[in-house]
Amino acid sequence: MGRSRGGLTSKLHALVDAEGRPVGLRLTGGQVHDACEAEALIAGIPNGATLLGDKGYDSNPIRNAAAARGVWTNIPNRSNRKQRFGFSPWLYRQRNLVERFFNRIKQFRVIATRYDKNPDNFMAAAKLICTRIWCAA
């Protein structure tokens, strides 16, 4: 649980495969930026894969970590970036799989309401839901 302007919050970071099934999950406090957990999630991507991320993940350390693992990144450039990178809008459309994954897990009340304040219990519930998603596919 992290403290932010809205009170005690948390964030669930996910890595999904090309079918929209979860491959990696991380839980952080609500005040932690999304890019802080990106390098830990990149470790779960197989070599030669493509990483799709939003503008929040456009940073040199994330791009370098992905390149070190042989992963191609398709992340839109932020407006203030001086060095531009190649970006495919057609490929970026597939990022909706991540959004659909989050919408799917929010169908479960334990995730949507976040009543459980213990991070271990919340992560266990999220992993149980992810197991159910994998079994349904």
Indicate which CATH number applies to the domain containing 7. 3.30.420
Which two structure tokens, joined as six digits, stand for 8? Answer: 């005690």
Give CA–CA dist 112/68, Å, rounded. Answer: 36
- Residues 3-44: pLDDT tens digits? 656 666 788 899 999 999 999 999 988 888 888 888 888 988
- Residues 48-91: pLDDT tens digits? 899 998 888 899 999 999 999 999 999 999 999 898 999 999 99
Report the predicted TM-score, pTM, of the whole model to 2 decimal places: 0.84
Number of folded domains that form the chain: 1
How far apart are the two ends of the chain, measured CA to CA in Å? Answer: 31
Domain that holds residue 98: 2-136
Q: Select from 29, 20, 26 the least CA-distant residue to 1.
A: 29
Residues recorded for the chain:
137
Burial, 79: exposed, middle or buried (Cβ in 10 Å; 0-12, 13-18, 19+)? exposed
